[in-house]
Amino acid sequence: MSRPPRLSAVEKTEIVLPSDANALGTAFGGRIISWVDIAGGIAAQRHCRRVVVTASMDDIHFVAPIEQGEVVVLLAQVNAAWHSSMEVGVRVLAENPLTGERKHAATAYLTFVARDEKGRTVPVPPLVPETADEWRRQEEAGERRAHRLERRALRATRV
């Protein structure tokens, strides 16, 4: 049964505590990546209603620092679904808890693969975009997938 992207939407929040921050008082990139992976995995799992594994995180772009004490808002949604894999986009926002002001801090794209109870890959439902933005995201995901497959083919020839 096909599913629209909105059914996979995730909004996850975290707060940057001292243990999450570096010597400059900004969030460790690795901590943000961990939260991105969790939010993305939940979105992928919501889409296919299966256990999913992270196959790749091919791009993450940090565009603004996230300060200790700020709230991190992660917005994740499935952009495209293929046979057994899905691309999930995650937008990371930093929110000032006192003013509510939000700034874009990072964007990431991850690929997840659905697995059955024995760990074998299984098909995922088709994604049916409903809005112009969702159609654009699906098209751009297809372009990113083509680049990922090209890079994978190049790596295979270097072995």
Output 154 or 54, whichever has higher pLDDT. Answer: 54
Q: Which domain holds residue 70?
A: 5-157
Mean pLDDT over residues 85-96, rounded? 98
User: What pLDDT was estimated at residue 159?
Assistant: 65
**Residue listed under structure tokens 């990546």:** 33
**Residue listed under structure tokens 């993305």:** 40
Domain harbouring 133, CATH code: 3.10.129.10
Q: 13-72, pLDDT tens digit by residue? A: 999 999 999 999 999 999 999 999 999 999 999 999 999 999 999 879 899 999 999 999
User: What pLDDT was estimated at residue 87?
Assistant: 98
Distance of CA 32 to the CA centre of its chain: 11
26 and 65 Cβ atoms separated by less than 8 Å: yes
Hey, what's the torsion of the CAs at 52, 54, 59, 64, to 10 degrees?
A: 80
User: What pLDDT was estimated at residue 34?
Assistant: 98
Could you please report the per-residue DSSP string of 45-97? HHHHSSEEEEEEEEEEEE-S--BTTPEEEEEEEEEEE-SSEEEEEEEEEEE-T
Count of structural domains within the chain: 1
Q: 101-133, pLDDT tens digit by residue? A: 999 999 999 999 999 999 999 999 999 999 999
User: What pLDDT was estimated at residue 157?
Assistant: 86
Backbone angles phi, psi at 35, to 5 degrees: -65, -40
Percentage of the chain lying above the pLDDT 70 cut: 99
Angle at alpha carbon of residue 93, lines to 92 and 96, rounded to 5°: 150
Separation of alpha carbons 137 and 93, rounded Å: 19
Claim: this prediction has a pTM higher than 0.85: yes
**Quick one: pLDDT band at residue 147, thresholds 50, 70, 90?**
very high
Angle at alpha carbon of residue 60, lines to 63 and 34, rounded to 5°: 105
Put residue 96 in one of left, alpha, beta given phi > 0 → left and psi -120 to 50 → alpha.
beta
